[in-house]
Amino acid sequence: MASTAPRPEACTLGQQITVRGTLTGEEDLLVEGRVEGSVSLAGHLIVAESGVLEADLDVQSIEVHGEVRGDIVASQSITIDKGAHVAGNVRAPRVIIHDGAQFQGAVEMDVDLPEGLARGLTR
């Protein structure tokens, strides 16, 4: 489990920062403050324990220790850590939810069901 501490070069939105609107980027980002709107990031997004995102997220990968309210789409993975709060629908090839995380919403991953089970599923 990667810790909340970012790599030294990672861009950080500090605790007292609030962003409203669309946030786009192509590098890793650590959010300790607040983002409202939407985030589109071709990189790794870390929501620190103090971080609050009220936004729809489209990222490469994300690690939530804080709070996210909005839908999350990740091209790689979504990790919801212990103590995190996520309310929204999440979609990624890999979704990891740790014990102690709080999550409300739908999860969509690729599920390769065995032959015969996939049939007859309305989903």
**String marking each residue 75-94 x if it binds another protein according to CB under 8 A:** --x-----x-xxxx-----x
Instruction: Name residue 40's amino acid.
Output: S
Nearest approach, Cβ of 9 to another protein (angstroms)? 26
Residue 49 binds to another protein (criterion: CB under 8 A) = no
Q: Does 121 bind another protein (CB under 8 A)?
A: yes
Least Å from the CB of residue 112 to another protein: 7
Binding flags for another protein, 7-46, as an x/- string (CB under 8 A): ----------------------------------------
Q: How many CB atoms lie under 10 A from the CB of residue 19?
A: 16
DSSP for residue 100: T
Tokens 């920062």 found at: 17
Q: What is the CA radius of gyration of the chain?
A: 15
Distance (Å, whole) CA 63 – CA 84: 10
When asked if residue 109 is in the footprint of another protein (CB under 8 A), the reply is yes
Asked if 115 interacts with another protein (CB under 8 A), we say no
- Which residue type occupies 9? E
Amino acid identity at 93: P
